[in-house]
Amino acid sequence: MDKMWAGRFEKALDKQADDFNSSIHFDSRMYKQDIIGSVVHAKMLGDKGIITESEKAEIIDGLGGILEDIESGKLPFNMDAEDIHMFIESELTKRIGDSGKKLHTARSRNDQVALDIRLYLMMECEEIGRLIKKLVEAIKDKASENTDAIMPGYTHLQRAQPITFAHHILTYAFMLMRDFDRIKDASGRMMSQSPIGSCALAGTTYNTDRYFEAERLGFSGISLNSIDGVSDRDFCLELMSAFSILMMHLSRFSEEIILWSSWEFKFIELDDSYTTGSSIMPQKKNSDMAELVRGKTGRVYGNLMALLTTLKGLPLAYNKDMQEDKEAIFDAVDTVKKCLGIFAPMIATMKTNKVNMKKAAGEGFINATDLADYLVKKGMPFRTAYKHVGEIVGFCIKEGLILENLPIEKYKEFDPLFDEDLYNEISLETCVNKRISAGGTGPQSVKAQIDYITEFLK
């Protein structure tokens, strides 16, 4: 395929250099956005009298035919093309002649690609938002099934206080809702400034209407500095930052799923559809989907760091280095979508083992704080109560006892404020149910959290 810049050069581009320079093998996914942007650009050119009405109609009709043929499979991408923009322009010119050559009037590939990638990412952000909501819903449903499942809550991966499984996994729903908001905010900023019309860097001598194009493409405004319009990739960085935080949340959740499904915990069992076996150990049931999500988190981090590094030393305005933005952001988008897509059904089909959770909660003295609170309610300063309970826990460990089966007589030796009612106060059910503070593990608080998430999903 002839290069549009071939007139300046006496020799053809070396084949290896041409392949190295070409981006169509990855930017072809933006074909629809490129055509949509070109249609609107043609309308603006025609309305402003820069091209004739008949030329405008020819261009728009020709672009529609190209879109239809690409989507039906009749028109494969020509991998000899430098990029998707030149492929479509070349195909248009082939179909309608010289009118097709007028489409690029008053624009550059610099502002064209800046437009296309924004439009493409906006579409992908909507899909990612839908996938986040699907996972949040799966978490909410699993929590609703397990509001009575008592388990140990952990700090430092040491058993700390009794909570419900519902309370624990709802934490991830709130993380994901923040991720949803971050991506939505980033999308809003991305669509606040249309770059088209910035041209190569300095604007154009034609009497164009940038606001016309921006409005019809869904932007709320235009980039007010043409150099910024073509050299800005902040929106890619912001999205990948949001994606990295989202993946970090999925990775933390994956880590707990991996732990919980191990024989050491056995709090949950993943469905066979989302686990694999071993090539040599027939007893194994591996949580490979969760492990892959955990592993792919580093891939998204890497894409963010790659683009930050690419951009950090670039002078204004456009540089070919910026072609590297697409593979990084595309890979991040694909990875996030795959991870979210596998996570929601993995959670939805996951089974919980309430018996094992309750058993684990009964060990480790996780009701010790409640025992101290028992003394505080009888007038003892908390720090004094804390010391007494620490001594009691130390005694129980030596004697192989737990707080629930230490005789009342022994309790009274530590302090006469203890009475028979302490056993009810330190039962796991009471410890959970009496936590009435907003956001806590108590039943009413957990119900309020589920109700809040339900509203978010609406």
351-352 and 158-164: which strand pairing?
unpaired
Distances (CA, A) of 168 to 146, 152, 260, 357: 10, 10, 12, 12
Cβ–Cβ contacts within 10 Å for residue 12, how many? Answer: 11
Identify which of 346, 342, 344 has the alpha carbon closest to the alpha carbon of residue 334: 342
One of 54, 220, 262, 278 is an active-site residue; which one?
278
How far is it, in rounded angstroms, from Cα 457 to Cα 405? 45
Quick one: CA torsion of 204, 119, 455, 180, rounded to 10 degrees?
Answer: -100
CA–CA separation, 366 and 139 (whole Å)? 25
Give a three-class secondary structure readout of 377-428: HCCCCHHHHHHHHHHHHHHHHHHCCCHHHCCHHHHHHHCCCCCCCHHHHCCH
The packing angle between helices 288-311 and 324-348, to 10°, is 160
DSSP H or E stretch at residue 99: helix 98-101
Specify the residue for token string 């770059």: 195
226 flagged as catalytic: no
Catalytic residue among 72, 156, 273, 279: 156
For 232, the token pair is: 């800005």
How many whole angstroms separate alpha carbon 294 and alpha carbon 288?
A: 10
Encoded tokens for 346 = 């993995």
Is residue 278 flagged as an active site residue? yes
CB atoms within 10 A of CB 408: 13
> What tokens appear for 120 in the block?
């493409």
Asked whether the beta carbons of 58 and 99 are under 8 A apart, the reply is: yes
For the CA atoms of 35, 39, 41, 44, what is the dihedral angle to 10 degrees?
Answer: -170
Please state, in angstroms and rounded to a whole number, the distance separating the CA atoms of residues 385 and 426. Answer: 14
- Residue 387 structure tokens: 């010391």
Q: What Cα–Cα distance (Å) separates residue 339 from each residue in 248, 276, 296, 444, 454? A: 12, 17, 8, 32, 23
Q: Strand 351-352 and strand 150-155: pairing?
A: unpaired
Phi, psi for residue 82 in degrees, rounded to 5: -70, -40
No. of helices (H) and no. of strands (E), the chain? 20, 4
Which residues are known to be catalytic? 156, 278
